[in-house]
């Protein structure tokens, strides 16, 4: 069984959305003899994380209200190496099926630094994926949309209870079919959670 780790490493120096250093993780390490205990001050949208509807919709569900089937799901990695943004036109022809957790691989995957011009999913793409009924949508940037007035991509997906997985690292993953495992922490009432996301190669035969 081949496991691809598609998670960002959590550290005080990790890349944050728009390089907002004030949101960076903070570790406090306590040592008593050989015993170490740490506290971590972690913004819930750090690194590889899932957004729940509550992130954008005050009456939306929180991260702990999702069935776990959403986060252990058949997944398709779709590559768009030349796209500047991904809309319905780009997604058509990829034969996306209902129930798949779609992961968008773009040129964002080539760099660890924050790119203010990152490739994103536009509202036409979000509508298209909602119509199909995908299990979730992930992208290789810390945001799934950029500079869209009113955050329509988030609104369209989250109002349909389609979770958004941001900050996946797909540089070393080929376009194809996998099993995605990306379990959020069980945090009561939270609008998001960091996840350890992995893709497992389909076991054939």
Q: Give me the active site residues, please.
A: 55
For the four alpha carbons of 128, 195, 139 and 178, in that order, the dihedral sign comes to negative
The 3-state DSSP class for residue 166 equals strand
Tell me whether residue 60 or residue 74 sits nearer to Zn ion (CB atom).
60
* Cα(108)–Cα(192) distance, integer angstroms: 22
154 binds Zn ion (CB under 5 A): no
Looking at 45, 76, 105, 169, which residue binds Zn ion (CB under 5 A)?
Answer: 45
Which single residue brings its beta carbon nearest to Zn ion?
45
Measured from the CB atom, the residue of 51 and 100 that comes closer to Zn ion is: 51
Nearest residue (CB) to Zn ion, 21 versus 203: 21
Q: Which of 6, 51, 125, 129 forms a contact with Zn ion (CB under 5 A)? A: 51
- Give the tokens for residue 111: 């760099």
Q: How many residues bind Zn ion (CB under 5 A)?
A: 2
Which of these segments, 6-14, 42-50, 119-127, 167-175, binds Zn ion (CB under 5 A)?
42-50
Distance CA 136, CA 125 (A): 13
How far the first Cα of the chain sits from its last, in Å, is 13
| CB of residue 94 to Zn ion, shortest distance in Å | 24
41-8-71-123 Cα dihedral, nearest 10 degrees: 100
Residues that bind Zn ion (CB under 5 A): 45, 51
């Amino acid at each position: 069984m081949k496991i691809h780790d598609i998670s960002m490493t959590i550290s005080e120096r990790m890349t944050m959305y728009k390089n907002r250093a004030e949101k960076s993780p903070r570790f406090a390490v306590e040592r008593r003899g050989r015993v170490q205990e740490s506290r971590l001050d972690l913004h819930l949208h750090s690194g590889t994380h899932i957004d729940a509807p509550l992130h954008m919709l005050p009456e939306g569900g929180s991260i702990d209200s999702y069935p776990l089937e959403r986060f252990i799901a058949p997944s398709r990695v779709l590559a768009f190496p030349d796209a500047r943004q991904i809309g319905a036109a780009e997604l058509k022809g990829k034969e996306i099926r209902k129930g798949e957790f779609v992961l968008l691989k773009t040129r964002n995957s080539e760099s660890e630094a924050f790119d203010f011009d990152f490739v994103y999913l536009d509202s036409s793409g979000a509508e298209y994926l909602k119509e199909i009924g995908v299990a979730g949508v992930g992208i290789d940037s810390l945001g799934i949309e950029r500079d869209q007035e009113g955050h329509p991509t988030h609104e369209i997906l989250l109002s349909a209870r389609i979770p958004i997985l941001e900050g996946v690292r797909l540089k070393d993953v080929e376009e194809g079919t996998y099993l995605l495992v990306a379990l959020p922490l069980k945090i009561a009432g939270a609008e998001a959670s960091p996840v350890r996301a992995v893709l497992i190669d389909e076991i054939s035969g």
